[in-house]
Amino acid sequence: MPRYIAITDIHGELGKLESVLSKIEARHDDVFVFMGDYIDRGADSKGVVERVIAQSEKNKCIYLIGSHEYAYLHSQKDEYYNFLFWNYGGPATVKSYGSFENIGKIHGEFFQNLQYYYLTDKYLFIHAGIDPNYPLEKQDEVDMVYIRHKFIYSKHNLPQKIIFGHTEFEKPYIDEYKIGIDLGCGKYKNSPLCALILDNGKEEFVYS
- Name the site residues for Mn ion (rule: CB under 5 A): 9, 37
To the nearest whole angstrom, how small is the minimum distance from the Cβ of residue 67 to Mn ion?
A: 6
Backbone angles phi, psi at 86, to 5 degrees: -75, -20
User: Minimal CB distance to Mn ion: which residue?
Assistant: 37
Query: Could you give the angle at which helices 45-54 and 100-112 cross, rounded to 10 degrees?
Result: 30
Counting Cα atoms < 13 Å in the Cβ hemisphere of 157 gives 7
Furthest C-alpha separation in the chain: 45
Nearer to Mn ion by Cβ, of 148 and 150: the residue is 148
Backbone angles phi, psi at 206, to 5 degrees: -125, 135
C-alpha span between 177 and 112 (Å, rounded): 30
Nearer to Mn ion by Cβ, of 9 and 13: the residue is 9
To the nearest whole angstrom, how small is the minimum distance from the Cβ of residue 10 to Mn ion?
A: 9
To the nearest whole angstrom, how small is the minimum distance from the Cβ of residue 28 to Mn ion?
A: 30
To the nearest whole angstrom, how small is the minimum distance from the Cβ of residue 200 to Mn ion?
A: 29
Nearer to Mn ion by Cβ, of 3 and 14: the residue is 14
